[in-house]
Amino acid sequence: MRWLAKLEQEPDEKPPLGIILCTGKRQEQIELLELGGNDIHVAEYFTVLPPKKMLEERLQEMVLQARKRIENKSEQ
């Protein structure tokens, strides 16, 4: 996002926003993040904001995959 703000942002544009995907006890949250002083790491980049439902489904899929990896490590 810093790259976008520095190299791609037009003078009349607002700063770029990011998306934070959070998961808890069977509930997913999708929040917008404004570029600030914190370090931001991007795992995947979208040029167009996908539908919220799709993000929720992909987040749930990633959570299941992560849980399987954790289970596999504990079994070894």
Is residue 56 exposed (0-12), middle (13-18) or buried (19+ Cβ within 10 Å)?
Answer: middle
pTM for this entry: 0.41
CA distances to 30, 32, 75 from 57, rounded to whole Å, are 11, 17, 27
| SS3 at position 31 | strand
Question: Quick one: pLDDT at residue 32?
Answer: 54
pLDDT tens digits along 21-70: 666 655 555 555 555 555 555 555 566 778 888 888 888 888 888 888 88
DSSP string, 5-21: IIII--TTSPPPEEEEE
What would the pLDDT profile of 62-71 be if each residue is shown by its tens digit? 888 888 888 8
Query: Domain-by-domain residue ranges, the chain?
Result: 2-75
Between 38 and 20, name the one with better pLDDT: 20
Task: Retrieve residue 56's tokens.
Answer: 């929720």
